[in-house]
Amino acid sequence: MRVRRTVEFRQKIRWDRFKDGFPNLFIEDTLATLLSGTPFTSRGPSQVMIFDIHALQERFYFSDTVIPRLESAIPLLQIELAKLQGPIAIAFPDEGAFKRFHSMFPEDSNVIVCTKIRDGRKRYVKIRDGNVTGNHVVIVDDLVQTGGTLIECAKVLLAGGASKISAYVTHPVFPAESWRKFTDHKDVAFDSFWITDSVPHATSIAQHAPFKLLSLSTAIASILLGYDLRQV
């Protein structure tokens, strides 16, 4: 049999950020190098399963001694969306999230795209495309750090006429317990905030409303069984 490895989400330095004019170290490159050292199996290279990789170019950090399998946890969110009542809209906080995920939703979905505008040192969010009025809007992204962008996006969507705001991220990083700003409702109240257990602390975060945990174990089992049953 082939060996398949899943690894919890690892905090990394943004590849596109610079310090003193020089790019930061590629933490994700180091991890990819370590995983690429996984020995061959009797049936060929081991496989590394990655859920909602942050930047698609990161798949090329792996050597040809392993096979990176890019998977998504969006199907878990789709199950939850099917339970909601009333008109629903899917919002993406920026162009990057739109490009990554919009094709994973039905073509007739009401899609909203937000964008970040820089005005000197100030940054603000505005709605670029989509119909907000009267919809329960679910903001979708791959990961969240402090949550500032999600909150600003939610404010703009509510001001645009959204009836409710929810959010989903695969990787709830939340350094320094920054998730608490979503529980005190000082800025904006989220109806639901779905997260997966790609990080160890997600379980404890999900004990506080509005957070709801979607376990990756179901997706991992389904992917492995679906793949293995096709093997000879």
In total, how many domains does the chain have? 2
Evaluate the CA torsion angle 211, 212, 215, 219 in order and state its sign. Answer: negative
Return left, alpha or beta for 163; rule: phi > 0 is left, psi -120 to 50 is alpha, else beta: alpha
124 and 211 share one domain: yes
State residue 41's pLDDT score.
Answer: 78
- In the sheet that holds 164-172, the strands lie side by side as 122-129, 110-119, 88-92, 136-144, 164-172, 193-196, 211-214
26 and 129 share one domain: no
Whether residue 138 is contained in a domain is answered as: yes
- CATH number of domain containing 123: 3.40.50.2020
The number of CA neighbours under 13 Å toward the Cβ of 125 is 22
Question: What is the SS3 assignment for 77?
Answer: helix
State residue 18's pLDDT score.
Answer: 43
Whether residue 223 is contained in a domain is answered as: no
User: Tokens 């957070």 identify what position?
Assistant: 211
129 and 48 share one domain: no
State residue 33's pLDDT score.
Answer: 75
User: Tokens 């990161």 identify what position?
Assistant: 58
91 and 149 share one domain: yes
Q: How far apart are CA 115 and CA 119, in angstroms?
A: 13
23 and 133 share one domain: no
143 and 198 share one domain: yes
Residue ranges in the chain whose pLDDT is less than 70: 1-30, 56-60, 227-232
148 and 209 share one domain: yes
Length of the chain: 232
For residue 37 the two structure tokens come to 């050292």
Domain membership of residue 203 as a residue range: 74-217
Domain boundary among the residues 22, 37, 71 is at 71
Q: DSSP labels for 93-106? A: SSHHHHHHHGGGS-
Whether residue 225 is contained in a domain is answered as: no
Whether residue 180 is contained in a domain is answered as: yes
14 and 99 share one domain: no
64 and 84 share one domain: no
79 and 149 share one domain: yes
Whether residue 227 is contained in a domain is answered as: no
